[in-house]
Structure formats: C-alpha cells, structure tokens
Amino acid sequence: AAFSQDAKKPDEEWKVPARAAKKKNPTPADNKSIARGKTVYTKECQSCHGDTGRGDGPKAKEIEKHPGNLTDPKMWDQTDGALYYKTTEGKKPMPEFSKTLTDNERWDVVNYMRTLAPKPKKAEDKVAEKK
C-alpha cells in the first residue's frame, strides 16, 4: 500500500509518571463540573480535538500528529491523574495548560472528557448478557 505524504504518524505511547497517574481527582464529576469542563474544552481544546473529541477539529490538519481520539473507549484505561497530567504538561504539538488553566479548570476538563468516550462494558456485564 502506498502512503500519502500527509498521512499522520501513529503516536508513540505517551508515558505518564506513576505518581502522576495515581493522583486522585478532587473534583466530583457532577453536572456543574462537567458543564465548566465543556466550556473550557470548547475554548481551549476543540480546535484540535473537535466538537465531539474525535481529533477532527479545524486545526487538526495543520499539526504533524493526530490530536488523539477522546471518544475511544480506551480512554477509560487511563486514570484521571494521567489525563490531568497530560492536560497540565502538554506534549508537542499539544500545549501545556499549567499556566493558562487553573488546577480546578483542568480537573473539570478531565470530568468532561470522561463524557466523550463510552465506558467499556466490564467482563462480568458481558457474561450476564449472554444468559
């Protein structure tokens, strides 16, 4: 198969320090937090990650890496601490938001991001369905 010049390179895994991944989210994922997170997402994240988090925002074509699909159920494999770390630290081309967003705003965005990906069914749920 021929590769097009503008094909995005697959992202190498973004490693998060274990201590950061274990960080607990101090912000309850209630409707208020999710609404605040959506406001911040719309302002700061949507241009690359897209309206629904698929990585298809208007600026996505301009950057060398795919922004990441936040609707992938694999997002649930990451802890809130890991998502918070990535939002805080950034990784080129994603900007670092530690200076532009407050801690609370970043936790609200994590809570909002959780609404974008369907939660994968647990193994025991699948077994129950088959009966």
pTM: 0.84
Per-residue pLDDT, 123: 61
pLDDT tens digits for range 65-101: 889 999 999 999 999 999 999 999 999 999 999 999 9
Distance between CA atoms of residues 103 and 36, nearest Å: 13
Per-residue pLDDT, 1: 45
Distance between CA atoms of residues 131 and 110, nearest Å: 36
Q: Is-contact 124 86, C-beta < 8 A?
A: no
Per-residue pLDDT, 17: 96
Q: What is the amino acid identity at position 71?
A: T
**In Å, how far are 76, 95, 118, 121 from 125, measured between CA atoms?**
16, 38, 15, 6
pLDDT tens digits for range 40-61: 999 999 999 999 999 999 999 9
